[in-house]
Structure 1
Amino acid sequence: MDTVLGKAVALLRAFRVDDTVLPLAELVRRTGLPKGTVHRIAGDLVAHRLLDKTPHGYRLSGGLFELGMRAATERTLLELAMPFLQDLYERTHETVHLGVQDGTEVVYVAKIGGHRQARSPSRTGGRMPMHCTAIGKVLLAHAADEVRDELLAGPLERRTPHTVVAPGLLRRQLAKVLETGVAYEREESTPGLLCVAAPVLDPDGRTALAAISVTGPVGRFRPEAHETAVRAAAAALGSTLSRRRR
């Protein structure tokens, strides 16, 4: 973070998914940079439309959204996936997610939910640990050995009383994912939420390019009832992506 670019990136990454506006003092606290440096770099970012200045502090600007939408891989994935995600929502009328792997985390590329969608911590563009989400387990099961070993070797965050934090148990769940083609989450990331996910596989059938899930609340939602629909949506998207690569 010694370079000006590194400091600017640190400033932008100080914003979390649920943040709207951050005062200068909070940006200083989160980045650990001197107040004068934060003020100067924030001013440059405002000039380049990457931040907006408000009476209460700074917020991320629309210029970042424009840049994000030019990211070729994610944009193509989202454009191709959206019809399948919408069809899956129409079949289930529950919250539908599309996620990809980034290191040992899930990044949510899309989220579709109706008026009765379950309260979920996921956000488009947000992140969650892989070990406690259905999408994450699907991606982790198909990830490179070094990624899986790194996650299983480190401490696993316990987000709820149901979060699987025993490496041996999680490893057995991942083996089951490879056997059945689906993963489940049962109140492991958020109390009251259940989820089922399936991988979007590349042509070799081993690497997961992304994963699709359906999420609903305990009491009304039975994830097993949506296995077939989730598998079908993921397989159809995988086939479409494969044709585009030829």
Structure 2
Amino acid sequence: MRHTSAQTPSVVDRVLAVLGAFTPERPALTLSDLSRRAGLPLSTTHRIVGELARRGALERQEDGRYRVGLWLWEVASLSPRGMGLREAAMPFLEDLYEATHENVQLAVLDAPEVVYVERISGRNAVSVVSRVGGRLAAHATGVGLVLLAHAPAEVQEQVLAGPLKAYTPKTICAPEELRRVLADVRRDGFVISDRQVEMVSLSVAAPVYGPDDDVVAAISIVVPARGADPRTLVPAVRAAARGISRTLGAPRALRQPVF
């Protein structure tokens, strides 16, 4: 992304511009690609890429293109909303997957989007567009609706102010309808998101609470829309979310009986 500000970008801005040039669709880039996509002179890009490669933040392939390096993965693993959450959640996600053999997901909010921290998917499960580390608009996903419902009011208003992207004809794009759905989620403790991202699938999602009894994540199961009775999945999804919350030390989960 080319810099348009009148202010000269700082060194940090330039480094982040280089790292931000990589996308899931373009995980490997040449030096010229990086220069163009970061909006930086080739000489500047060459210097930054060289330093990043020496630190292991980037890796140079045999064909001369660069990829994100393992050092960045090590740094990312220190995020409290990343690996620690994932480790607490994995046994419950695995149990939920073994019981259903459908897609099971764990996500956190970075409004107006959700970031997927983990996903377990079976060979015969319905296809989904989410991926670990990927993002989708919060208002269109089950996990996103759960997270928005429990987000601070100012965050909710920011998302409600739009724009609200339509993935399918079923995507909730009217602010007042979205506001009603968020109120329902807070009342019910779960949500069924029906064909909002893809017409072939729906999801059932529930909140995960942290040690301060605030919602820190959400889990969901994604199943084929045709022939599914999503309400039969609600108890299993809520039980898994409660188990993760209990592992994280959420007081409300510790007070609830174990079934």
Question: What TM-score do you get using the length of structure 1 for normalisation?
Answer: 0.91
Please name the residue that 2:30 is paired with.
23
Amino acid at match of 1:62: L
Shift of 1:107: 0.9
CA distance in 1, matches of 2:227, 2:30: 41
The equivalences for 1:1-246 within 5 A come to 2-54=9-61, 55=63, 57-202=65-210, 207-242=214-249
Amino acid at match of 2:91: P
Q: 1:188 to 1:24 in 2, by over 3 A?
A: farther
Q: 1:225 to 1:29 in 2, by over 3 A?
A: farther
Q: Deviations over 1:15-63 (max 9, x none)?
A: 2234331233332333222222222211211111111122152111111
SS at match of 1:229: helix
SS at match of 1:189: coil
Note if contact 2:32-2:42 (Cα within 8 Å) is conserved in structure 1.
yes
- Identity among equivalent positions (%) equals 43
SS at match of 2:82: helix
Give the aligned CA root-mean-square deviation in angstroms.
2.0
Note if contact 1:92-1:226 (Cα within 8 Å) is conserved in structure 2.
no
CA distance in 2, matches of 1:184, 1:56: 47
Shift of 1:235: 0.9
Shift of 1:220: 4.8
Note if contact 2:211-2:248 (Cα within 8 Å) is conserved in structure 1.
no
Please name the residue that 2:257 is paired with.
none
CA distance in 1, matches of 2:206, 2:173: 22
Note if contact 2:147-2:217 (Cα within 8 Å) is conserved in structure 1.
yes
Shift of 1:121: 1.4
Note if contact 2:81-2:108 (Cα within 8 Å) is conserved in structure 1.
no
Shift of 1:243: 6.2
Note if contact 2:111-2:159 (Cα within 8 Å) is conserved in structure 1.
no
4+ residue segments displaced more than 4 Å:
none
CA distance in 1, matches of 2:40, 2:200: 39
Question: What TM-score do you get using the length of structure 2 for normalisation?
Answer: 0.87
CA distance in 1, matches of 2:165, 2:179: 15
Aligned residue pair count = 244
CA distance in 1, matches of 2:250, 2:140: 32
Q: 1:239 to 1:61 in 2, by over 3 A?
A: same
Shift of 1:225: 2.0
